[in-house]
Structure 1
Amino acid sequence: MVLNETLDKLIQEEIDKGIEEIKDDYSRVKSDFDNLRKKLREKTNEVNGLKRLEDQMNVFKTFQDTISKDNIEELIHHLNMEQQEIDFNGMDSDRIPVWFKLLCTYYHDKEKIFEIMDLFNITYPSWAKTFKMPFDYGKEELNLVFEYLGKMYVCNGQIFSGNMGFFFTYQNRYNGDLEALFRKESYVEIPWNLLLQNPLLTTEEYFSKIIKALKEKRYHSEYFFMIQNYQELTKEQVNLIAEHLPTTQLYSYHTNFLSKNKGIFKVRTDLAEMFKDRIKNNHYSEFHYLNYPIEMQKVFVLKESLSGDRYTFEMVKNMDISVEDKVELLSKIATNLLNKEN
């Protein structure tokens, strides 16, 4: 009896062991099957993706043949990438290739521009990949600018516009090598309208170089008076530049600076004194009498009244003084006119 029970137990253990092995095999086979099914789905998706890609490539090849350097500008224009406002008109503009226009216009997305040009087989030289716009010059390039400041000129006086043709010609001549360009040429044809956008120029390091150049009256340093057309200056920086305004011959970049800072004479009476002989009743002028200190305004209005200026009353009316002061000034004007007639 005991023997039978022992045999039954051993048999049951073997049966249970066999069942467990079968279960393990089943789990292993099921897992392998699930993995294979997953891989099949992945490969199927991959094949379908490749088929779609092949179809897209076939369509693209048809489309690719219709895009060339003659119409790629129009295509890119519709991609809504960030644009740099640049005027490509002017002398030698016919020499500017499409790739250079695209690179300059979409400089902030230049990597995408290179990818698109590669996609449509628009050729460009190897130096294009290392080309920098003047507003992107780092310390190495800016140090060259200040070292060779006397060469910072553009042909025909196209300092701030109409200069991209000259710019490209000279960049291309030296394959974008600025050091060679500065070393070998009398003028480097770098547009100041692009250079003055460089944010490093308003840092302490390079603004001090600007002031030093103005103080030493270095050739072409006067173009720095135009910097506010392209970026903001602090009040302190404005004052530092103002100290180097010429007292005799003023050019457009000097008057432009004064136009940008019409209130400076009221703060800097020393400057007002320097330019008191230029004061006038011309609302569009940088030297409009209302831009000067009050006492200078009064002296000017009194002088104008004696010369018979029929706008004297309006001039006094427009002054930023109290009604009592205006009445007092008009009384002086009337007295002077009566004395003049007698």
Structure 2
Amino acid sequence: MSNVVYVYIYFQLTVYLGKRDFVDHLDHVDPVDGVVLVDPEYLKDRKVFVTITCAFRYGREDLDVLGLSFRKVLFSSTVQVFPCPPLSHQLSQLQEKLIKKLGLHAYPFNFTIPHNLPCSVTLQPGPEDTGKACGVDYELQVFCAKTEDEKIHQRNSVHLLIRKVQYAPETPGPQPMVETSRNFLMSDRSLHLEASLDKELYYHGEPININVHVTNNSTKTVKKIKVSVRQYADICLFSTAQYMCPVAMVEAEDQVSASSTLCKIYTLTPVLGPNREKRGLALDGKLKHEDTNLASSTMYALSQYSAFCWDVAVELPFVLMHPKPKEEMHTPPPQPGNLTCKSL
């Protein structure tokens, strides 16, 4: 059982999970299923509940004063696992093995995360910021109490961060290409700019080749060409706002004289390393203090990227994601079942 993550508190309340990353497949999300091991003598007349919460923190924790909290709960669901109610889902293979190994006091739980919730995202704090970073996180909480509305004490609960993630689609989209023309005063002919990418989908750390073709039929001279990769993040709180942050840029002194052309490939690699000081940059959600990377693109445009060229400008949206692990290639959607506690 080396693939099981477990957390315990005073050896009285233990939660077992098979993984901490749950994949959004667009039509469904991997079920959050696990097992809670309880000590009936420790519980006495109390019950055991499991809660999953998705929340967006949009302000520092030290600003949570006077009853104001800069944290918005996007989704929350609670189930009772002890005393064991009738189960409405089929036990997973992992749950069956754990219950068989742990004995009679192991109880299963299962959650379905709505697929329209955002993936786990961390907004990069500034160099002097302290406390928990802003962003979207998912937390699993197991606690014992007489009712689920009772105030939860730290000594009677287990907290575990999990993540909702997406991986690159197996079939990428069409190759991005865009063009534009601009007319200038005192010139009866235009400047034409065409830009394209070699593909639509890139993996983290992969160089991006931008093919730029300039046809200058005007009487003006192009003095420089600037190409940048920008991250766009849509953040919806009281209203939807879009935030832009450049993550890679090259500025070349490539002149294009009147009645001449230029065709050149510029290469950029958007990575977190040179951007660690930028407050508010969207990053993939992380567990504890592990390192992470720039936020992956999502299928619902929570965070997207584009290669951008200047004054006479074109914009090329593309997708930046992690490849799908081999074990996730053929994950079927969960199937409903009808079991009761007696069948355990």
TM-score, normalisation: structure 1: 0.22
Give the number of the structure whose residues are more often strand, by fraction: 2
Larger RCO (CA under 8 A, 6+ residues apart): 2
Give the number of the structure whose residues are more often helix, by fraction: 1
Q: Highest Rg: 1 or 2?
A: 1
